[in-house]
Structure 1
């Protein structure tokens, strides 16, 4: 599983680097900061999703660990939502929040959560945070 996690992290870090390199010099500092914030938070969310994957796979789901990671995801999602007014980022954040809420409901009810919507939404967030 570790190689797949590294690939997602590498993709997210690459997206962050692309934002830093692709933002034109003529853009104001505020726009650059927002783009970098978005990309940095997308990396954090990607790491949270990897941690969540580790907590809910295997023989036994660790509900306490999953709850802790889900809380971290919620906070990171809120940070992205608070720091951007971009419609595409807003939609990606909404989709990610819905997916995280569904995972939380599954964990709370003792069911095996489906993480694919979370992974898809986190990937979309990374995409929209990249130029």
Structure 2
């Protein structure tokens, strides 16, 4: 009888340990995703700064504007691939649209496109990614 009780206790402890470990791994995974999102959003903020400088110097080197927009889009893809958070996805969509609008404005001959929607959307993304 004591052996049976000891076996049940051992099984119960093992099951509880496994459940706890699974919970911790899931919790860490969520924190890791949030941290990845925040780090990528921080990279996007740097790219937005580069974009602002590139637009200001577009007469000297118009390729820098494209490079900055490409960098933002690559980072947005990284975030979009790693999250299932609706708010983050919405912020990514807003920033993608703002980047597309800047590309269109430049393509249509606007040497100084309005970057306010890009900076606003980048700020929105940073807020949603903050752990």
Match of 1:48 in 2: 47
Q: CA contact under 8 A between 1:39 and 1:129: conserved in structure 2? A: yes
Matches within 5 A, 1:1-131: 28-58=27-57, 60=59, 62-111=61-110, 112-131=112-131
In angstroms, what is the RMSD of aligned CA positions? 1.9
Are the counterparts in 1 of residues 98 and 118 from structure 2 also a CA contact under 8 Å?
yes
- Are the aligned partners of 1:66 and 1:107 in contact in 2 as well (CA < 8 Å)? no
C-alpha displacement at 1:59, in angstroms?
A: 7.5
Aligned mates of 1:70, 1:59 — CA distance in 2: 13
Q: Structure 1 residues 98 and 26 mapped into 2: Cα distance closer, same or farther (>3 Å)?
A: same
Structure 1 unpaired stretches of 5+: 1-24
Shift of the alpha carbon at 1:69?
A: 1.0
Deviation beyond 6 Å, 4+ runs, structure 1: none
Larger radius of gyration: 2
Q: 5+ residue gaps in structure 2?
A: 1-23
User: Which moved further from structure 2: 34-43 or 103-112?
Assistant: 103-112
TM-score by length of 2: 0.75
**What secondary structure, in the 3-state scheme, does the structure 2 residue paired with 1:110 have?**
coil
Q: CA deviation at 1:61?
A: 6.6
Alignment length (residue pairs): 107
Contact 1:34 1:84 (8 Å CA) reproduced? yes
In 1, the alpha carbon distance for the partners of 2:41 and 2:114 equals 20
